[in-house]
Structure formats: structure tokens, C-alpha cells
Amino acid sequence: MTLTADTLPTPLGGQLVWRVGNLDAAELATLPTLELSARNYADLELIATGVYSPLTGFMGEADYQSVIDRMRLASGTPWSVPITLGVSREDAPRLRGPVALTYHGELVGRLDVQEQYEAHKQYEAREVYRTQDEAHPGVAALYAQGDINLAGNVTLLRLDRGRFPEYHHTPRETRDAFAARGWQTVVAFQTRNPIHRAHEYLHKVALEHVDGLLLHPLVGETKSDDVPADVRMRAYRELLAHYYPAARTFLSVYPAAMRYAGPREAVMHAISRRNYGCTHFIVGRDHAGVGSYYGTYDAQEIFNAFSRAELGIEILKFEHTFYCRKCTQLVSPRTCPHDSSEHLVLSGTKVREILRSGGDLPVEFTRPEVAEVLREAYRDV
């Protein structure tokens, strides 16, 4: 059987959105302009290239309220995080009809404003982020937005493949790549951290059951203390070169900004990967979490609110994995009978301390090639 991109799961909503090009830069230059934040620009690209299918623009009030209240668009389609564009009250009156969008002062697209409405930021923070604490990075970003949301269809002037052009693939391209490899089942793994042995364990368990792995690191805006994207990408390349079957793995970047919305963001990440053509999505402990705002497995439990049929992607839920000295292998609480004193578990803080001191990370925790990439990055920090 000859496989095509259409053999893979249909995008959410039935059709992959594509809203790139067909803009006249000279005409854009005559329109009122709006400068986008890094997160707004990431959302613009993800809408325009179909990652956020079925969205064709920033959300109107009906969808905004419905997503906050019941994790569904007004149509009933699953969606968990509002995708909005906030502006100040003072700026809103001039932003009607077609508006030119800029990023770092450069024209990047157009928004056809169809609606303006009040952003209920405190309510949104409580329901989506489960906290109104400004110390939460996602809540802080939400509060920094303007109080009036603009809604309407968007068009991206051109696709900028950013810092990692050879790995920056649209859903159209990943679907074609999977089909060319003959993959009918694909598992995606979302990460904003360097991969350690426990992650590798999850990948390889999943690869026993599916045709291919999409390793899909997020490279958009993250917290200042997260490991930089270029360091993570070097680590991934080293790992894939030495320890993964090349014919069954595909490295691509996910250009979204982190919202740190925990469970709600896990759902959005799963939907996005369906649109990229994946059939399965790994959700481990504290997916998209930060601090102590979410329970360890809240990001798994939230999927109980959706049926497999409506999400269109199978969620693989894994417990915390670690190296057990008694078992002499990577295990989880499901498979290991030994006391926690036998378990090798290193926090992010401890890892950074070891790296900054020039120490060696245990080979049971991370591969030597990855450890060297990280040690080099932290040597002068």
C-alpha cells in the first residue's frame, strides 16, 4: 500500500488550515500596525500553518468564554487554552478592519479584526492556570497583555523557519515525511528540557508499539532559567546519532511559546500533535508544569474529560521513571518493588549544580554525550 499524508489522522476540524502568503507588502504598509509579542507571533505562525487547526485566527468572545468554561470551542470542538491577542484600551479604537502585524518592527502578517471584547484576565487565570498568582510565569504574561482582545482571521506574510531551519517543519511537511517513511502510527514527545535516560526509556517503550517517534522540542519563548533551545537541540542531535534507530525517529521543532498551563496546556499540546499527523502522544509527570501549581499527574487526569474519538489522538500516560540500583535498570513505580533510597533521582537544581561545578552526571541519569553538551553550556555560567 502506498501511504500518503492523508493516511494519517485527520486534523482537528477535518481540514488542515493554511493561511500563509497571498499578502501585498506594499498594501500592508498602508494599514494601522500592531507590534506582536514573542508569544503572539508564535501563535500567529501556529494558526497560519495549521498547528492550531481548526483555528483560523485569534479567538472571538464566544470561543474565548467557551474554552475557559468547558475546554471546548463554541462549536463543541475540544480546545483547552484561549488563543487571544490583547491590546490596551487606548490602542483598541484605531485597530479595526484590516491591521498589519509586525514583530521586531518587521511586517509579518495581517489580522482582519472582526470583534473586540473585554478580556477577563483574573477569571481566565483562575480557570486556565488554576492560580491568580503573578509569580506564575503564564499568569504574569496574561496579566501583561492588554485588556481588550482583538478577534479575527490572520494571514502570515511568509514562513520564517527561525534558528533551526532544517528542523522547522509545518504539519503539511511532517505528514509528508511520515508517509514517505511508511509510518501509519507516530508517537510524539514534547519537551522543553534536555532528554535524560528516563525520557529515553519512555520513547523506546512507546517505539515497541508504534512505527515512528516525533521528538518535538518546544523552541519558543520559555522561562529565563530553562535550558536554552540551542543547547537542547545539540543534546538531541547527539542522542539521536548514537542511541536511536534513525529510520524510526524524526527530530523537528515545535515553535510555540510555553504558557506553563500544566494540564490545560497538555491538552493543547496533544491536539497540536494530532494536527502534525501523530496518532499517539506521551504525557508524563507534571507535563507543562512549573513550581508546585499542579499535581504530579494532573496533566494525565485532565484527559478523562475527553473521549478518544473527539481528541483523535491516543494519550500514553507514564508514571515517573528512574534508575533503580537494586533493579540495575530504568523502572517506574509500576515495576520496581524497592525503597526510594535505591532510586537515582536528580532535580533540575541538582543537575545545574553538578554541571556548574564541572562534575560528571551519572551515566545512569544521562548519556555521556548529552552530559558533555550540557557541561560545556554551563561551564561559563
Measured at the alpha carbon of residue 78, what is the angle toward residues 75 and 80, in degrees to the nearest 5?
115
Is the same domain home to 205 and 176? yes
Give pLDDT, residue 4.
64
**SS3 call for 168:** coil
End-of-domain residue from the set 124, 139, 156: 156
345 contact partners, CB below 8 Å, separation of at least 6 = 322
CATH of the domain at 373: 3.40.50.620
Give pLDDT, residue 224.
82
Is the same domain home to 213 and 139? no
Is the same domain home to 301 and 373? yes
List the catalytic residue out of 19, 130, 175, 192. 192
* pLDDT tens-place values along the chain, 381 residues long: 456 667 799 999 999 999 999 899 899 999 999 999 999 999 999 999 999 999 999 999 999 999 999 999 999 999 999 999 999 999 999 999 999 999 999 999 999 999 999 999 999 999 999 999 999 999 999 999 999 999 999 999 999 999 999 999 999 999 999 999 999 999 999 988 888 899 999 999 999 999 999 999 999 999 888 889 999 999 999 999 999 999 999 999 999 999 999 999 999 999 999 999 999 999 998 999 999 999 999 999 999 999 999 999 999 999 999 999 999 999 999 999 999 999 998 877 788 788 878 888 999 999 999 999 998 888 765
Is the same domain home to 341 and 209? yes
Is the same domain home to 144 and 218? no
d(CA 118, CA 80): 19
Give pLDDT, residue 379.
75
- Domain that includes residue 15, residue range: 5-156
Is the same domain home to 133 and 170? no
Is 192 known to be catalytic? Answer: yes
Number of structural domains (the chain) is: 2
Give pLDDT, residue 266.
98
Is 237 known to be catalytic? Answer: no
Is the same domain home to 226 and 313? yes
H or E segment at 48? helix 38-48
Is the same domain home to 169 and 304? yes
40 burial level (CB within 10 Å; 0-12, 13-18, 19+): buried
Is the same domain home to 232 and 84? no
The backbone torsions φ and ψ at residue 13, rounded to the nearest 5 degrees and listed phi first, read: 95, -10
CB atoms within 10 A of CB 27: 11
Give pLDDT, residue 5.
66
Q: How many helices (H) and strands (E) are present in the chain, helices listed first?
A: 13, 14
Is the same domain home to 141 and 266? no
Give pLDDT, residue 3.
60
d(CA 164, CA 209): 30
CATH of the domain at 33: 3.10.400.10
End-of-domain residue from the set 156, 175, 201: 156
List the catalytic residue out of 172, 193, 248, 352. 193
Give pLDDT, residue 74.
98
**What is this structure's pTM?**
0.95
Q: How far apart are the first and last CA of the chain?
A: 53
Is the same domain home to 215 and 350? yes
End-of-domain residue from the set 134, 156, 178: 156
> Which DSSP string do the residues of 245-283 spell out, in sequence order?
-GGGEEE--B-PPP---THHHHHHHHHHHHHHT-SEEEE
CB atoms within 10 A of CB 340: 10
Give pLDDT, residue 354.
86
